[in-house]
Amino acid sequence: MSRFLSLHVLRLLPQVAALAVILLMISFAFPDFFRLEIQNGRLYGSLVDILNRGAPVALLAIGMTVVIATKGIDLSVGAVMAICGAVAAACITSGHSLAVTLLVTLGAGVLCGLWNGVLVAVLDIQPIIATLVLMVAGRGIAQLITEGAILTFNDPGLIFIGSGSLFGLPMPVVIWLAFGIVVALLVRRTALGMLIEALGINRRASTLSGVSTGVLLIAAYMLSGLCAAVAGIIAAADIRGADANNAGLWLELDAILAVVIGGTSLLGGRFSIAASLIGAMIIQAINTGILLSGFPPEFNLIIKAAIIVLILVIQSPRARTVFAWLSRSRGAADGAGQDRADRAGTGQEAK
Amino acid sequence: MQSDNPLVLAATGIDKSFPGAKALDQVDFSLRRGEVHALLGENGAGKSTLVKCLTGAYRRNAGRIVLDGVEVDPRDTLEAQNLGIGTVYQEVNLLPNLTVAENLFLGRQPRRFGLVDTREMNRRARVLLAQYDLDIDVAAGLSGYSVAVQQVVAIARAVDLSGKVLILDEPTASLDAHEVAMLFRIVRRLRDRGLGIVFITHFLEQVYEIADRITVLRNGRLVGTQEAAGLSRRDLIAMMLGRELADAADDAHGRAAAGAGEVRFRFRNYGRSGRIRPFDLDVRAGEVVGVAGLLGSGRTETAEILFGAERADSGTAEAGGRRLDLSSPRAAIREKFGFCPEDRKVDGIVGDLSVRENIALALQARRGWARPLGRAEQDRLADHYIKALDIRTTDREKPIRLLSGGNQQKVILARWLATNPDFLILDEPTRGIDVGAHAEIIRLIESLCENGMSLIVISSELEELVAYSSRVIVLRDRAHVAELSGERVTTAAIVEAIAATERAQA
Smallest CA–CA separation between B109 and chain A, in Å? 39
- Asked if domains B2-97+141-231 and B249-505 share a fold, the reply is yes
A28-31 long-range contacts (CB < 8 A, ≥24 apart) are A29/A289, A29/A292, A29/A293, A30/A292
Q: Give me the amino acid identity at A117.
A: G
- pLDDT confidence tier of residue B455, bands split at 50, 70 and 90: very high
Whether residue A333 is predicted with pLDDT greater than 50 in this model: the reply is no
Rounded Cα distance between B260 and B453, Å, is: 10
Q: Which H helix or E strand runs over A126?
A: none
φ, ψ for residue A304 (rounded to 5)? -60, -45
Q: A66 — contact with chain B (CB < 8 Å)?
A: no
Q: Do B362 and A270 touch (CB under 8 A)?
A: no
User: In percent, how much of chain B has pLDDT > 70?
Assistant: 92
Whether domain B249-505 has CATH 3.40.50.300: the reply is yes
Strands A37-39 and B263-272: unpaired
CA-atom Rg of chain A in angstroms: 24
Q: Are B218 and B24 in contact (CB under 8 A)?
A: no
Q: Which of B346, B367, B375 sits opposite A204 (nearest CB)?
A: B346
Closest chain A residue to B359 measured between Cα atoms? A209
Per-residue model confidence (pLDDT) at position A336: 42
Beta-carbon contacts of B315 under 8 Å, excluding residues fewer than 6 positions away, are B267, B268, B269, B270, B271, B278
Question: A190, A209, A215: which to substitute to probe chain B, counting the most B Cβ within 10 Å?
Answer: A209
Rounded Cα distance between A235 and A238, Å, is: 5
Q: Are A291 and A300 in contact (CB under 8 A)?
A: yes
Whether residue A304 is predicted with pLDDT greater than 70 in this model: the reply is yes
Per-residue model confidence (pLDDT) at position B91: 67
Buried b (16+ CB within 10 A) or exposed e, A32-51: ebeeeeeeeeebeebbbebb
Smallest CA–CA separation between B400 and chain A, in Å? 12
Q: B272 — contact with chain A (CB < 8 Å)?
A: no
Rounded Cα distance between A232 and A84, Å, is: 5
Helix (DSSP H) and strand (DSSP E) numbers for chain A = 15, 6
Size of interface A-B (CB pairs under 8 A): 80
Q: Which H helix or E strand runs over B10?
A: strand B7-18
Q: Are B305 and B271 in contact (CB under 8 A)?
A: yes
Q: Give me the amino acid identity at B371.
A: R
Closest chain A residue to B350 measured between Cα atoms? A202
- Which of chain B's residues have a Cβ under 8 Å away from the Cβ of A211? 330, 361, 365
The better pLDDT of the pair A220, B498 is held by A220
Residue range B465-479: mean pLDDT, rounded: 88
Q: B371 — contact with chain A (CB < 8 Å)?
A: yes
Q: A293 — contact with chain B (CB < 8 Å)?
A: no
Domain spanning B2-97+141-231, CATH class: alpha beta
Rounded Cα distance between A311 and B60, Å, is: 41
Per-residue model confidence (pLDDT) at position A235: 93
Angle of the B177-192 helix axis to the B147-161 helix axis, nearest 10 = 10
Give which of A272, A56, A51 is closest to A170, Cα–Cα.
Answer: A51
* Lowest pLDDT segment from A201-205, B192-196, B362-366, B461-465: B461-465
Smallest CA–CA separation between B350 and chain A, in Å? 6
3-state secondary structure of B138: coil
Per-residue model confidence (pLDDT) at position A328: 67
Mean confidence (pLDDT) of chain B: 84
Whether residue A300 is predicted with pLDDT greater than 90 in this model: the reply is no
Q: Give me the amino acid identity at B336.
A: K
Cα angle B239-B242-B246, degrees, rounded to a multiple of 5: 75
Alpha helices in B352-473 (DSSP H): 355-367, 375-388, 405-417, 435-450, 462-468
Rounded Cα distance between A56 and A81, Å, is: 9
In Å, the largest CA–CA distance within chain A is 99
Whether residue A20 is predicted with pLDDT greater than 70 in this model: the reply is yes
ipTM of the assembly?
0.80
For the beta carbon of residue B209, count every other beta carbon within 10 angstroms: 13
Rounded Cα distance between A275 and A259, Å, is: 8
Rounded Cα distance between B287 and B428, Å, is: 17
Closest chain B residue to A214 measured between Cα atoms? B330
Rounded Cα distance between A221 and A196, Å, is: 12
Q: Are A195 and B365 in contact (CB under 8 A)?
A: yes
Angle of the A55-69 helix axis to the A213-239 helix axis, nearest 10 = 170
Q: Do A202 and B350 touch (CB under 8 A)?
A: yes
Per-residue model confidence (pLDDT) at position B228: 86
* Lowest pLDDT segment from A74-88, A173-187, B96-110: B96-110
Length of chain B: 506
Q: Which of B329, B349, B364 sits opposite A195 (nearest CB)?
A: B364
Whether residue A348 is predicted with pLDDT greater than 90 in this model: the reply is no
CA-atom Rg of chain B in angstroms: 26
* Lowest pLDDT segment from A30-34, A201-205, A260-264, B474-478: A30-34
Give which of B78, B53, B55 is closest to B63, Cα–Cα.
Answer: B53
Closest chain B residue to A209 measured between Cα atoms? B362
Rounded Cα distance between B48 and B422, Å, is: 38
Question: B305, B306, B334, B353: which to substitute to probe chain A, counting the most A Cβ within 10 Å?
Answer: B353
Whether residue A339 is predicted with pLDDT greater than 50 in this model: the reply is no
Q: Where are the domains of chain B?
A: 2-97+141-231, 249-505
Beta bridge partners, A153, equal none
Beta-carbon contacts of A351 under 8 Å, excluding residues fewer than 6 positions away, are none
- Which of chain B's residues have a Cβ under 8 Å away from the Cβ of A192? 369
Q: A3 — contact with chain B (CB < 8 Å)?
A: no
φ, ψ for residue B170 (rounded to 5)? 50, 55
Residue range A1-8: mean pLDDT, rounded: 57
Per-residue model confidence (pLDDT) at position B501: 57
Angle of the A77-93 helix axis to the A127-146 helix axis, nearest 10 = 20
- pLDDT confidence tier of residue A351, bands split at 50, 70 and 90: very low
- Which of chain B's residues have a Cβ under 8 Å away from the Cβ of A269? 352-353
Per-residue model confidence (pLDDT) at position A340: 41
Rounded Cα distance between B330 and B336, Å, is: 10
Give which of A324, A245, A254 is closest to A77, Cα–Cα.
Answer: A254
Per-residue model confidence (pLDDT) at position B247: 44
Per-residue model confidence (pLDDT) at position A56: 94
For the beta carbon of residue B95, count every other beta carbon within 10 angstroms: 13
Buried b (16+ CB within 10 A) or exposed e, B354-381: bbbbbbbbbbbbbeebeebbeeeebeeb
DSSP string, A140-183: HHHHHHHTTS-EE---HHHHHHHH-EETTEEHHHHHHHHHHHHH
Closest chain B residue to A186 measured between Cα atoms? B370
Whether residue B7 is predicted with pLDDT greater than 60 in this model: the reply is yes
Beta-carbon contacts of B137 under 8 Å, excluding residues fewer than 6 positions away, are B100
Give which of B198, B256, B203 is closest to B471, Cα–Cα.
Answer: B256
Smallest CA–CA separation between B293 and chain A, in Å? 24
φ, ψ for residue B133 (rounded to 5)? 55, 30
Q: B402 — contact with chain A (CB < 8 Å)?
A: no
3-state secondary structure of B342: coil
Per-residue model confidence (pLDDT) at position A174: 93
Q: B330 — contact with chain A (CB < 8 Å)?
A: yes
Strands B165-169 and B70-72: unpaired
Q: Which of B339, B364, B366 sits opposite A208 (nearest CB)?
A: B339
Q: Do A208 and B415 touch (CB under 8 A)?
A: no
Q: Which of A189, A205, A270 sits opposite B347 (nearest CB)?
A: A205
Q: A209 — contact with chain B (CB < 8 Å)?
A: yes
**pTM of the complete model:** 0.76
DSSP string, A174-235: HHHHHHHHHHHHHHHHSSHHHHHHHHHH-HHHHHHTT--HHHHHHHHHHHHHHHHHHHHHHH
Strands B115-116 and B479-485: unpaired
Dihedral angle of Cα A331, A336, A339, A340, to the nearest 10 degrees = -140
Outline where DSSP puts E strands in B273-375. 276-284, 288-292, 314-319, 322-323, 337-340
Q: A250 — contact with chain B (CB < 8 Å)?
A: no
- Which of chain B's residues have a Cβ under 8 Å away from the Cβ of A193? none
Question: B369, B420, B424: which to substitute to probe chain A, counting the most A Cβ within 10 Å?
Answer: B369
- End-to-end, the C-alpha distance of chain A in Å comes to 62
Whether residue A171 is predicted with pLDDT greater than 50 in this model: the reply is yes
- pLDDT confidence tier of residue B110, bands split at 50, 70 and 90: confident
Q: B357 — contact with chain A (CB < 8 Å)?
A: yes
Length of chain A: 351
Q: Do A201 and B351 touch (CB under 8 A)?
A: yes
Q: B375 — contact with chain A (CB < 8 Å)?
A: yes
Q: What is the tens place of the pLDDT at every residue in B328-370?
A: 999 999 999 999 998 888 899 998 899 999 999 999 999 988 8
- Which of chain B's residues have a Cβ under 8 Å away from the Cβ of A206? 350, 361, 365
Residue range B36-54: mean pLDDT, rounded: 84
Beta bridge partners, B281, equal B267
Residue range B293-315: mean pLDDT, rounded: 88
Q: A194 — contact with chain B (CB < 8 Å)?
A: yes
Residue range B78-96: mean pLDDT, rounded: 81
Q: What is the tens place of the pLDDT at every residue in B208-238?
A: 888 999 999 888 888 889 888 888 888 888 8
Give which of B200, B120, B215 is closest to B166, Cα–Cα.
Answer: B200
Smallest CA–CA separation between A164 and chain B, in Å? 35
Per-residue model confidence (pLDDT) at position A55: 93
SS (H, E, C) A260-277: HHCCCCCCCCCCCHHHHH
- Which of chain A's residues have a Cβ under 8 Å away from the Cβ of B333? 209-210
Whether residue A293 is predicted with pLDDT greater than 50 in this model: the reply is yes
Q: B396 — contact with chain A (CB < 8 Å)?
A: no
DSSP string, B217-261: EETTEEEEEEEGGG--HHHHHHHHHSS-GGGGGG--PPPPGGG--
- Which of chain A's residues have a Cβ under 8 Å away from the Cβ of B364? 191, 194-195
- Which of chain B's residues have a Cβ under 8 Å away from the Cβ of A205? 341, 346-350
Q: A212 — contact with chain B (CB < 8 Å)?
A: yes
Q: B182 — contact with chain A (CB < 8 Å)?
A: no
Per-residue model confidence (pLDDT) at position A331: 53
